[in-house]
Amino acid sequence: MSDLPQRLSLREVGPRDGLQNEAPVATAAKVALIDALSGTGVGRIEAVSFVHPRAIPQMSDAAQVWSSVRRDPGVRYSALVPNLTGAERALEAGFRELEVVVSASDTHNRTNVNRSTGESLDDIAVILERVHAAGGTCQVIVATAWGCPYEGEVALERVIGVARRAVSDGADGLSYGDTTGMATPSRVTRLVGETRAALPDTGLNLHFHNTRGTGLANVLAALELGVSDFDASVGGLGGCPYAPGASGNIATEELVHMVEDMGVATGIDLEAMIEAAAQAERIVGRTLPSQVLRAGPRTRTVA
């Protein structure tokens, strides 16, 4: 096995990516979950998204959630935005770390934000300028990076082209989203390799779903290439509201459990994260897919 990074940087996306796919959750419950996650040692939390309430009503209380969160000085909190209006709302609420998403697949992009990929990239250029003028940073997330639920395969060249455009317009980093869990380790290796060749100085985050059971295998493939920045979602919450059947981000506690046992530090208290996953399960009122939540860590023994 190749040398692995000594430490990972994890972004917890359950409060945003996870809860936007559930029945609407009370504002106080969202705040309590974010506060619980802030106490696990995770360094970054994607707290809310500023989308139109008609599109995703689950996030209609984003500003109220953010105003009530107990903000840990050791945690970086960010917000996802779909367009310039969302970016303005996020900046007004006090966020200075934003993410904006664009799909490599034109069909998925139109379904998601009602415009073509090219039109979104034009908007993103304006968003980046506005965020930078406010003293903030903005990462560009390229969704459907490993395939589209409507179009199927998305050419690697198209994904790289979208990434190049975003970086040339001033993106502070890139994230590739496996929107419907279509990635496999060999595909991860190819896309990461091509991206490194094209954009060697750009920070890269990877966002995997476990829809088809390959989530942690994809993480391992990326780790062996030296990637050290990943998204994960407490309890395995999440999916994509515009991609049928795309349930299940990789579970934060499962990722932490695996990489810590491999000698890769995360700074996260695994037991505290499992407790947060149990809290998330109570909040949404259904069984979450995390196996580590069910079985506990490998070091747990039967009395």
* Residues 109 and 158 sit within 8 Å (Cβ to Cβ): no
* Residues 66 and 47 sit within 8 Å (Cβ to Cβ): yes
What tokens does 36 get? Answer: 């619980």
Give CA torsion, residues 117, 150, 205, 299, to 10 deg.
160
3-state secondary structure of 44: strand
Q: Of 56, 69, 240, 276, which one is the catalytic site residue?
A: 240
Q: Which residues contact 160 (CB under 8 A, 6 or more apart)?
A: 194, 195, 198
3-state secondary structure of 210: coil
What tokens does 17 get? Answer: 């990516």
DSSP 235: G
What tokens does 175 get? Answer: 């994230």
Cα 52 to the center of its chain, rounded Å: 19
Instruction: Quickly tell me which residue has 């969160």 as its tokens.
Output: 69
3-state secondary structure of 251: strand
Instruction: Quickly tell me which residue has 């509201």 as its tokens.
Output: 241
Can 240 be counted among the known catalytic residues? yes
What tokens does 222 get? Answer: 């990326």
Amino acid at 109: N
* Residues 237 and 14 sit within 8 Å (Cβ to Cβ): yes
DSSP 2: P
- Report, as residue numbers or ranges, the catalytic residues: 240
